[in-house]
Structure 1
Amino acid sequence: MITVTQLEYIVAVEQHKSFSMAADACFVTQPTLSMQIKKLEEYLGIVLFDRTKQPIIPTEVGKPIIEQARNTLREVNRIEEIVKQHQGIVSGDLTVGIIPTLAPYLLPRFAGPLTREYPEMRLYIKELQTEEIIRQLKQDQIDVGILVTPLHEDGIVETPLFYEDILVYTNPEYKFEDKKELSIEDLKSPDLWLLSKGHCFRDQVINLCAYQGQLSNNLPIAYESGSLETLMKLVDNEGGFTLLPELATDGMNEDLQNRIRTIKDLKPTREVSLVSARNFAKESMLEALAGTIKQVMPNEYLNPQRGEVVEWRG
């Protein structure tokens, strides 16, 4: 007979690629975990893991079985969630992945109000790039992600939260000095500072500008940053310009606000969403998270018609 515990153990081994680390994660001894997995393999008549490889990997037949184990564990967890929803209880642990271009600007807005409104809910935050959020969602390492959509990703559910403008931040002595509105053609310049590869906002900027040339060709430093704040300081000190999501400009002093330009050809926006695995089990907590974020955002951010959503992922 297959037990829930055995399913938890094989998912843990696949996730950690190690029997000892999986045992630690499951708070059992390694012999106990190994014995239960061996029993499951004997019951099924197959070998789930190739123990000759380091790190340990699933066998070909083991891969779909472990994926089915994940789905089964999600459904088991839904039983408790159904009861909580019936009782109106929002409680438990929620692990949230959030992208770096949102975390410093969005997290301070909702984290405090959320935990005060739902004191029995424990929030764990991981700052991760988009592809890592997707990977960890599919492996149940996090419960939900906050990132930029659309993703066009199988097995992922997107719940749009808000829409923020994409704006231009320029050096005060750059050629944009006398322009308050810029065209897309203005942005097709080698003087554009970019985030490093792996950030979805970088890809949005490239798609928006349809830039095909050598990036940062005329810049004094060949540097790509992982931080919007660093890009702004480089623009201030070295010239050129960069693009910023609207939340990153919130709270700027008047001098910095004067360096912001809008884009007139279209009003480019980025769609920010909650994303979860298709059979997400913690629905009441997800609804609480989404509701709190919408409550703390200005009304204009909630309008899906406020601009043209810029795709970043093919």
Structure 2
Amino acid sequence: MTLSQLDYIVAVDTYRHFATAAEACHVTQPTLSMQIQKLEDELGILVFDRSKQPVVPTETGQAILAQARDVLRAAQRIPEIVSESKDDFRGDFRIGIIPTLAPYLLPYFIGEFIAKYPAVSVQIQELVTEQVIERLRNGLIDVGLVVTPLAENGITEIPLFREPFVVYAAELNPLLTKSTIAPTDLQTDGLWLLTEGHCFRNQVMNLCGADRQANGTNALRYETGSLETLIKLIDKQGGFTLLPYLATLDMDTTRQARLRPFDMPQPVREVSLVMHRSFLKRRLINTFRSEILAHLPNELAGKEKEGQLVRLS
């Protein structure tokens, strides 16, 4: 049994396709298939059920793959320890971030982070939370920026800050007659939401009522993963939505006038770094965390515990 063989079976499990796995491992498909076959012969079991498409691991194969991932992470940790002892930050750093955070949080710190660590190749993917968790488990990303708590087995969460919700409403919406909003004020028509799969949608539904109908009007149903699209639809079609605080900071004065804060204690979402329990690049991730916290807007800095946390479901 070799580390290369373990790498090959993990790649097949990740991509569920032998040709794609071979390409990811930079070997030919016959080489990958032969080495996996040799491993299976040595172990006396089948790791994969090849009769199904896409290929899936057998029951015993699932346990072997979980152990293989742990072994590979442990092996990768050795050169990392040496690099960290020299304060030598280099290599790929793969980040997954949810769409309701990416355009509003990244600009505050990512430029300085890249400038400070030029030998690190930063790769950022916008993903919904479920995809972040899956890719962490498969070793396809190093760290995620998501909303927590998740309560996912094998996933470590490091809270960064709590971000308040605010209400954004169309110009003549009755909600704008109030200086602050109570959750009970939201029991009215005209709520616009993100599509299913976005954790922000779940939090809004928990505040506004899980049985609410959305989006918008009886004549229009529109699914989007973009907060900016919701804002523009509300400007033209009426209604209201909830926004995370960071999404409001670059608004012009006209849109700022259509925002309303919540009564105290304000509902908030908890933004965290998430990693696999046996995560690699530990010092780099800690440095990444420090950069984020150092560049937060003053209104959010130090707010790790304030506000009434809105659960994901």
For 1:268, the equivalent position in structure 2 comes to 267
For 1:137, the equivalent position in structure 2 comes to 136
Mapped to 2, the partners of 1:297 and 1:115 lie a distance apart of 17
Mapped to 1, the partners of 2:306 and 2:58 lie a distance apart of 49
1:220 Cα deviation from its structure 2 partner: 4.3
For 2:310, the equivalent position in structure 1 comes to 310
Alignment of 1:164-313 (within 5 A): 164-216=163-215, 218=217, 220-301=219-300, 302-313=302-313
1:175 Cα deviation from its structure 2 partner: 0.7
Residue type of the alignment partner of 2:149: P
For 2:150, the equivalent position in structure 1 comes to 151
1:149 Cα deviation from its structure 2 partner: 0.6
Q: Is the 8 A contact 2:73 2:278 kept in 1?
A: yes
Mapped to 1, the partners of 2:284 and 2:264 lie a distance apart of 40
**TM-aligned CA distance change 1:104 to 1:38, over 3 Å:** same
Moved more, 223-232 or 197-206: 223-232
Equivalent position SS for 1:126? strand
Residue type of the alignment partner of 2:304: P
Mapped to 2, the partners of 1:166 and 1:141 lie a distance apart of 31
Mapped to 2, the partners of 1:253 and 1:218 lie a distance apart of 26
Moved more, 300-309 or 17-26: 300-309
Q: Is the 8 A contact 2:192 2:216 kept in 1?
A: no
Equivalent position SS for 2:274? strand
For 1:108, the equivalent position in structure 2 comes to 107
Q: Deviations over 1:195-245 (max 9, x none)?
A: 111110010011122342433475542223211011111111111111000
Instruction: State the superposition RMSD in angstroms.
Output: 1.4
For 1:78, the equivalent position in structure 2 comes to 77
Sequence identity percentage:
49
Equivalent position SS for 2:251? coil
Equivalent position SS for 1:300? coil
Mapped to 1, the partners of 2:27 and 2:133 lie a distance apart of 29
For 2:126, the equivalent position in structure 1 comes to 127
1:29 to 2:28 alignment: yes
Equivalent position SS for 1:276? strand
1:177 Cα deviation from its structure 2 partner: 2.6
Moved more, 239-248 or 303-312: 303-312
1:150 Cα deviation from its structure 2 partner: 0.7
Mapped to 2, the partners of 1:213 and 1:291 lie a distance apart of 39
Structure 1 stretches of at least 4 aligned residues deviating more than 6 Å after TM superposition: none
Unaligned runs of at least 5 residues, structure 2? none
Equivalent position SS for 2:136? helix
Q: Is the 8 A contact 1:164 1:271 kept in 2?
A: yes
TM-score, length-scaled by structure 2: 0.96
Residue type of the alignment partner of 1:281: L
Moved more, 206-215 or 69-78: 206-215
- Aligned residue pairs, count: 312
Residue type of the alignment partner of 1:290: R
Residue type of the alignment partner of 1:204: Q
Q: Is the 8 A contact 2:47 2:60 kept in 1?
A: yes
Equivalent position SS for 1:181? coil
**TM-aligned CA distance change 1:224 to 1:34, over 3 Å:** closer
Alignment of 1:43-54 (within 5 A): 43-54=42-53
Q: Is the 8 A contact 2:95 2:125 kept in 1?
A: yes
Moved more, 243-252 or 13-22: 13-22
Q: Deviations over 1:42-80 (max 9, x none)?
A: 111111111222211111111110111011101111111
Q: Deviations over 1:115-151 (max 9, x none)?
A: 1111111111111101111111111111111010111
Moved more, 81-90 or 248-257: 81-90
TM-score, length-scaled by structure 1: 0.95
